[in-house]
Structure 1
Amino acid sequence: MVRAGRDGERADAAVEEGLAIAGWMELGDLSEVSSRAELRAVVRSTYPDRSNAVIGNWTGQLWRFISRIRVGDLLVVPLKNRERLAIGTVAGAYEYRPDAPPGFRHVRPVNWARTDVLRDAVQPDLHSSMGSMLTVFGLKRHDAVRRIAGLAETGADPGRDQGDGVPSSRDELLDRAANATEPPRLTIRELLGHWGVGRRTAGNVAVVEAELADRGLTTVPPFTEGWIDNAVGLVRVSSEPEPAEGAVAVPADPLSIEEILPADELPPVSLRVGDLESANREVVGVDSNQPLAVAVTRMLAHDYSQLAVFEVAHEGRPGGVRAVSWESIARASVARQNITLAEATVAARIVDHDADLLAHVDDIYTTGYVLVRGPDRVSITGIVTAGDVTLQFASIARPIALIEEIERRLRRRVDEAFTLAVLRTLTRKPNISSAANLTFGAYGHLLRAEENFSCLKWSLDHQLFLGALEAVRQVRNELMHFSADPLTTEQLRSLQGMINLLRTVDPRP
């Protein structure tokens, strides 16, 4: 689909001249652009005040228009009154018309099959997939190619092929976001679940980002940041510059002003303070004008070692935040009796949510905690204690330790069951010195044959064992790609299940 402008202002020219017309009047001839990276540089230099999210979005649309759309592709253009569609076939390569009016210069020749297809003739599922606000985007889902060809031929939508299945929950989510006036909200974990993944590895992020970009969508705040159960909104990204915008920045919708980086521009992945669950949990505290007894009671009731103390706003100035702890209470009590909360309050250690966690481990160990400042650089969004850091690194270390034990137990039994010569022959690895040189994939290959598996002398179902081994291999491969997100319950269950199995058939420590 190539829209004819925000208000259909290019529709008449498109039909009369046999063209698909893109906007972006400030951009010159793109005929010599040979790569997406080169195009991005051109777009960035033309619109220097735009966010990375918008530049990435516009680059993707323009690259599709000049390069990915091929001669012979079906093409749909909504006409000006939005009640009809024009459907045709792309007849030529990208052209730049320097003498055409601004906004009408980037074109692709089209042979129109018909220009009178009623929008009402398109069934709701296909119509919903046309809801993206992008100027240029692909119609792939809901058996689109066959059905649009049918519309071009007869003016009627033949409907979904019965063998095409039902729309996935991901399709429905993206359609809803593309058409909604109120952005759908869901947790990052729920968002990832629509792609069948549970953690934000670089590869998973790239896949999700790419499909969101194809629909002209992004998330606010970025789904790449923060705890995995934080909520994000699925919002639309600007489709193309307004005719009067030029290269000057204009006020944006509050939901789209975030600086959201495409997957290929993400900064180096590091473990950040805001990636911890506790950094995104409501902070229990007291107001500075409350009695010390309130702070003491809350600390005892919640088994806390410290509390945030929120200073009361004064004369229009926002209040700050300090802290009280058992240590600060004890120190104040040494100097005087019947101390107040103010006398037991000390300066709080505050770090930003996107600070490098590893760089602050020593501070957290020394002070016992840090308060976390949110993306607005003002509000306190959580507190990270030494215990939270311990749990975080335990969640990372535990699956690694489990996989290491699985591997050692497999290695020991395989070395016992096969001579080195046989092992080299069966694995087709003539240079290995022991089973220690095998990967999980190699173990799977070795034990796939029934006669090889029987050499282990384990009273286990062969196929179920191979399935369990494959699940471990997949978890192990994912762990090699760093993510602060914990493994899913199912992934941990796979590891623990294999451990239990191997300890049972071979109880040696």
Structure 2
Amino acid sequence: MTISENPHRCWARFCDDQGVPSQADRGKPMAERTVDGSADEPLGRASYLFEGRRVLVSDLVHAGLLGAGTRLTFRQRRSGQDHLAQVTSDGRIELSDGQRFKSPSAAAAATTGRGPYDGWTSWALDDGSLLDAVRQEFLDTVAELPRSGAVAADGHAARHARLKDARRQADAEAPVTVTVRDLLGWWGASRRGYVVTEQVAAELANHGLSTVPDFAAVGIDDRVTLTGPSRDTEDGEEKAADQEPTAGQEEPREASTPGPATTSSDEEDKGEPIQGQTVGNLPSALKGVVSVSSSASFEEVFTRMRLNGYSQLPVLSGPRNLRGAVTWESIARARYADPEAPFSEAIVAAHAVSYAEHLIDVLPDLERFGFLLVKDQTNQIAGIITVADVAAEYGATARPFLLIGDLDRQLRRVISEGLDMTEVITLCDPDGRRKLSTFDQLSYGDYQQVLGNQEQWDKLSWPLDRKSFIARLDELREIRNELMHFNDKDKAGDSAIPMLRNMIELLREHSG
């Protein structure tokens, strides 16, 4: 293991290699450097690799914490076989057969042809320390750098300490459990847009943490547990082998916990992740189920369904053994065919899906059965979804789109009726490249450009504060972008709909 005597100097060289400091910062002391000339955030914080990217072996090499040629060993516990590798100068893991990998997990899996493995806790240095320990030293070094006291910097430091504590508790088998909403709050977020989701996943992975169940695949008020890497990679391999592969999975995962614990995967950067509603995002998906056994009576079933207002009940033999379901229709059919029919004659086929499956992929089964049972990360039947649940979900998703369309029309009407097109073109298309000629060609950005101009604003003669109005318009622009790109897993929802309605009503009131 090659570790510099001065980690801060190594980190400074790392930042320099990455091209992070601006030209104006060259030669300045570490504590005085800024990113992109900003005086608000110190170099160590802004270049902290928590910002949406997982730490790579190459980062450790650039920081001077690993040297080229450092030997790594992956020992399989049961067989006692050792697999050797070395770190290359460009931060790859090179196996004895010459294969090179950016991912420690992929390298570990390639040595045996099996997996998944948590590569960071599989590979050890000659002194016995794990690759994960070097990664944690890297993160600690950055956290200890001088900071300016900016709010953002303080937030990074607090989150780093909180994640370190969560890892300690996970390793002590006393893991932290929080709601998804509270977890997002560690990052100052209230919804799971793609940027936030990727940042949370990356920072959790950097600390060797994952959430069970996957925080991105359950409701925002559901609880998740922060778990650490498996202590036995071979046990993790066997557990993972029992699970069906998650849709879209392309390479072995690091986490050994059953289910799609995406927060601990050691994936290479793949750009903007594809977001989509999962079964687990529906409020009823993991809220528990009322069930009966196959030995139940018609009277028991009838009573349970009436008391709870249910149209169906799953029939279970244990929490993971789905035997079928009983519905009002199946009861009527069984009794119609034979008034003395036993309860077993009313049991019909039922279908169970994983909480992590994409909602759109299960719609054919939902149409076929009318309802679906939902399996949690341990494969227990943990909830039920119906056609009504999906209709409500898509209705809630569609509502903000309708309001955004109305807002767009109101803004265009205000500008077209109150302002001169020639002046609007001068503001929005001064060089004529867009060839603007009508108000219908204006974009949302154009509305902001025009209404943000003091001269144009004064022509509207509104008794409103321009800065407050434009600030809200910019908030709605961000919400609009999230929705239009389908990147907000939690939708604009509760907060955006009132904001949109209030803006629309204000425009109607003051535009005549």
**2:481 counterpart of 1:489:** no
Pairs within 5 Å for 1:115-134: 134=135
Amino acid at match of 1:433: S
Contact 1:471/1:494 (CA < 8 Å) preserved in 2? no
**For 1:348-392, what per-residue CA distance to the aligned partner results, in whole angstroms no more than 9, with x for missing partners?**
233333334223324423432122233344x21211111001011
Distance (Å, rounded) in 1 between the aligned partners of 2:133 and 2:93? 25
SS at match of 1:286: coil
Partner of 2:145: 145
Aligned length, in residue pairs: 403
Aligned residue in 2 for 1:54: 118
Larger Rg: 1
Counterpart CA distance in 2 for 1:299 and 1:433 is: 63
Gapped regions of structure 2 (runs ≥ 5)? 5-63, 74-83, 240-253
Task: State the alpha-carbon separation in 2 of the partners of residues 319 and 42 from structure 1.
Answer: 37
Aligned counterpart, 1:257 = 256
Alpha-carbon distance in 2 for matches of 1:440, 1:375: 42
Q: Is the 8 A contact 1:348 1:370 kept in 2?
A: yes
2:510 equivalent in structure 1: 505
In structure 1, C-alpha distance between the alignment counterparts of 2:317 and 2:385, rounded to whole Å: 20
The structural deviation recorded for 1:287 is 2.6
Sort the Cα spacing of 1:44 and 1:320 in 2 relative to 1 into closer, same or farther, 3 A: closer
Amino acid in structure 2 at the alignment position of 1:44: A
Amino acid at match of 1:208: V
Write the deviation string for residues 318-370 of structure 1: whole angstroms up to 9, x where unpaired: 75332111111221222222554323221223333333422332442343212
Distance 1:496 1:3, change over 3 A: farther
**Deviation by residue 1:139-170 (Cα, 9 ceiling, x = unmatched):** 3666x2349xxxxxxxxxxxx97998688653
Letter aligned with residue 419 of structure 2? F
The Cα of 1:303 is off from its aligned counterpart by 2.1
**CA shift for structure 1 position 268:** 4.7
Matches within 5 A, 1:52-451: 54-55=118-119, 57=120, 103=126, 134=135, 136-139=137-140, 144-146=144-146, 170-180=159-169, 181=172, 182-237=174-229, 249-251=233-235, 256-258=255-257, 260=262, 261-262=265-266, 264=269, 268-311=274-317, 319-337=321-339, 339-377=341-379, 379-428=380-429, 430=432, 431-451=435-455
Give the aligned residue type for 1:490. S
Amino acid at match of 2:403: L
Where does the alignment leave 5 or more consecutive residues of structure 1 unmatched? 5-17, 63-101, 107-130, 148-159, 240-244
Contact 2:316 2:323 in 1 (8 A): yes
Report the RMSD for the aligned CA atoms in angstroms.
4.1
Q: Does 1:44 align with 2:70?
A: no
**Which residue identity is paired with 1:179?**
R
Q: Which whole-Å CA distance do the structure 2 matches of 1:327 and 1:251 have between them?
A: 45
Deviation at 1:472, TM superposition (A): 0.6
Please give the per-residue CA displacement for 1:262-310, whole angstroms capped at 9, x wherever unaligned.
Answer: 4646985443323322221211222332321222222222222211122
Deviation by residue 1:414-436 (Cα, 9 ceiling, x = unmatched): 11122322211022353123333
2:55 maps to none
Q: Distance in 2 between matches of 1:213 and 1:33?
A: 18
TM-score (norm 1): 0.67
Query: Relative to 1, partners in 2 of residues 1:471 and 1:446: Cα closer, same or farther, differing over 3 Å?
Result: same
Distance 1:505 1:38, change over 3 A: farther
C-alpha change, 1:415 and 1:472, in structure 2 (3 Å) is: same
What residue is the counterpart of 2:59 in the other structure?
Answer: none
- Secondary structure at the counterpart of residue 388 of structure 2: helix
Whether the 8 Å contact between 1:3 and 1:135 is mirrored in structure 2 is no
- SS of the residue corresponding to residue 504 of structure 1 reads helix
* Equivalent position SS for 1:228: coil
For the structure 1 residues 53 and 461, does the alpha-carbon distance in structure 2 shift closer, same or farther, using more than 3 Å as the test?
A: farther
Q: Quote the Cα distance in structure 2 between the aligned partners of 1:503 and 1:354.
A: 43
SS in 2 for 1:28: strand
Contact 2:101/2:107 (<8 A) preserved: no
- Are the aligned partners of 2:230 and 2:256 in contact in 1 as well (CA < 8 Å)? no
Task: Give the fraction of aligned pairs with identical amino acids, expressed as a percent.
Answer: 29
Amino acid of the residue matched to residue 328 of structure 1? S
- Partners in 2 of 1:268 and 1:438 — Cα distance? 29
Judge conservation of contact 1:132–1:215 (CA < 8 Å) in 2: no
Mapped partners of 2:315, 2:326: distance in 1: 7
Checking the alignment, whether the CA contact within 8 Å between 1:27 and 1:43 is kept in structure 2 is no
Output the CA distance in 2 between the equivalents of 1:20 and 1:374: 40
* Equivalent residue, structure 2, for 1:459: 463
SS in structure 1 at match of 2:460 = coil
